[in-house]
Amino acid sequence: MIHATKLKNTHLPDTTEFQAKDRELRDALDKLKERYETELNSQRLHIGKKKALERMKNHWDGLTVFVDYPYIPMSNSEAERMMRNPAVGRKNYYGSGAVWSAEYTAIMFSIFQTMRKHGINEKKWLLSYLKTCAESHGKAPPDISPFLPWNMNEKEKIDYG
């Protein structure tokens, strides 16, 4: 099924190839749904398997949203990869120790991952931001919009890259 999804997303939506792969994917999902519904009706189904299949049934719409919206990834692997560094870091420095510290850490990781996702060097960006704060006598600039990646033009992004 992953293969069918990848093939589907390699073609433009209005093409015959896309439509064929889309039909193939939908057929595979229909068979999967039919199978889990059949197994759920089995009297001899192990309780652990039954719970897993019930969970699949309850979350089916969310699990298959990528079919109707091809630009939504099939898995959340990207989000999981982005959270790996904070999780490993937390283990290495024994957690945050205080609520304010945990909140601060979460904010900083979110900012840095946003910069990374936009191809901006976090260190250069942070240095520029802190210089602006220093020029404002230690206060945040009144307008932070120039520091937001979605407000930057390509040249500004390259300067931070």
If you compute the radius of gyration of the chain from its CA atoms, what whole number of angstroms results?
23
Cβ-in-10-Å burial (0-12, 13-18, 19+) of 147 comes to buried
| CA proximity to 152, closest of 119, 109, 108, 107 | 119
Given a cut of 60, whether residue 7 has pLDDT beyond it is no
CA distance 125 to 128: 5
List, for residues 85-135, the tens digit of each pLDDT value.
766 766 666 655 677 877 887 888 888 888 888 889 889 999 999 999 999
Whether this prediction's pTM lies above 0.85 is answered by: no
Given a cut of 90, whether residue 8 has pLDDT beyond it is no
What are the distances in angstroms from CA 83 to CA 75, 89, 92, 104, 133? 14, 10, 14, 15, 28
Q: For the chain, give every domain's residue range.
A: 2-68, 76-117, 119-161
List, for residues 26-53, the tens digit of each pLDDT value.
999 999 999 999 999 988 889 999 999 9
